[in-house]
Every structure is written in C-alpha cells, then in structure tokens.
Structure 1
Amino acid sequence: SVQPWSAILEEVRRRIPGQGVWITNISASGDTVNIQGGALDFPLVNDFLLTLLDSNFVTSAVLNSASRVEGTPETEPSVTYGLTVTIRTIGDPDPEFTRELEQRGAIGLVEKIRILRQVEGN
C-alpha cells in the first residue's frame, strides 16, 4: 500500500494542540508511526492523543510512555511522551477521504487513485 506521507505529516502537525506540545522524533514502519516528544503537562499529551484519534488518517493511537521531567533554574518542568499511531491503509479510499487527501496536499496520490479507478472502469 502507498501512504501519503506528506499528508500524514501535515495531519499530525495540525493535530498538535497549540503551544506546549512538541515532537522530537517521528519514525514510521508500514502503517505504524512512532512519535516521541514533550509537553508542558500531562493533559496536553492527552489532548494530543485524543485529537490524533479524531483524525480520518488514524485508526488507533496508544500512549506508550509519559514521564515527568523536573525543571531546572533555566527550564520549566515538562513531560516526555511516546505514542504509537496506526495509519489508515489507503487501498481504495472513499470520495470523502480522497477530498481530505487533496486538501492535505497529497495531490499526486489523489491523481494516481483517479487514474487507477479509470483503468479499472474500462
């Protein structure tokens, strides 16, 4: 299956709940994306997880770890977190999801899907 990585990364960026949550590392394998990062507090990590689960690109998201980091005279206390996110397999997307892909910038993938639909229809 082909994943629209530019659209997926844009979706993850859009789902970050404002200031106070950041990503330090993203890695992907197949349809799984691992995200590590930090936040100012635990509720912000929870908000990020819930907004990811609300995405049409995501089929599941699990919080693997969350740890409090003590502040120093130069830094505020914070939380480090790790998430595992399972991305929807594209396959033959419905028209609504195709529009969403297009809105997120996956124009090339949307065009490939249209061409394949035309070829299959002939």
Structure 2
Amino acid sequence: MANIKIIKENQEYFILLPETAEEIASSKGNVQILDGQHRLISFDADQINENFKSHELYQMGYVICNDFTQDERTEIFIFSNEKQKTVDKNVLRQLMRWLHLLSNDEEDLYDLVVKIK
C-alpha cells in the first residue's frame, strides 16, 4: 500500500492516510473504503464545518480494503452491515447499487424511486 502507513501504539493500530497531493496521487486505486466512507469524507477540507476543532483527537471506525476481489468486498459489506440499525432505505439501496448487490427488479425499483423524487 503505497504511502499508507500503519503504526502501532500501546496495543492499538492506526492507519496514516496520504495527506499531500503527491502521496494521494501515488496511492490512488490502492485501497477502497468499504464502510465508513461518509465519516472519512466529513473530514475533507471542503466538508468541514468552520467550527471544527482540528486540535482534538477523533476516533472513528471504517473498513479499508487492499486488493480484495468484488466477492470479498461484498461479503465484508454484508457482514459489517447485517446487524446495523436501519438507515434510510434509499441510502442503503444506493450503496447496494454501487456494490452491484441489487437484483434486476430492485434496480428497476431504485430507478423509479429516483425519478419520483
């Protein structure tokens, strides 16, 4: 995983993601965030609220995959989310569509719901 470092401190592991434009460019395509992408995106400079306290330590959970097959990513996604609290069905369907987990009928239903909105 180019430019993605894993460090261990006091029995805890931390992933140091690329920060500079150069590091990001050289790491592109090496990892895929499977769960928690919205939490990570919320820390993006374009998304952060002006009252955000950058000096505070934030912890969050997410799943990052490296060189997993589509079947492996699908299995991890389903396993990670099967005991989660219910979210808006349209958000869940959108994620499932991106992961190619919808049947043809579910795809048609999703398209119809999007058109109605």
Query: Which TM-score band (shorter chain)?
Result: under 0.3
- Pick the structure with more strand per residue: 1
**Structure with higher RCO (Cα < 8 A, 6+ apart):** 1
TM-score (norm 1): 0.24
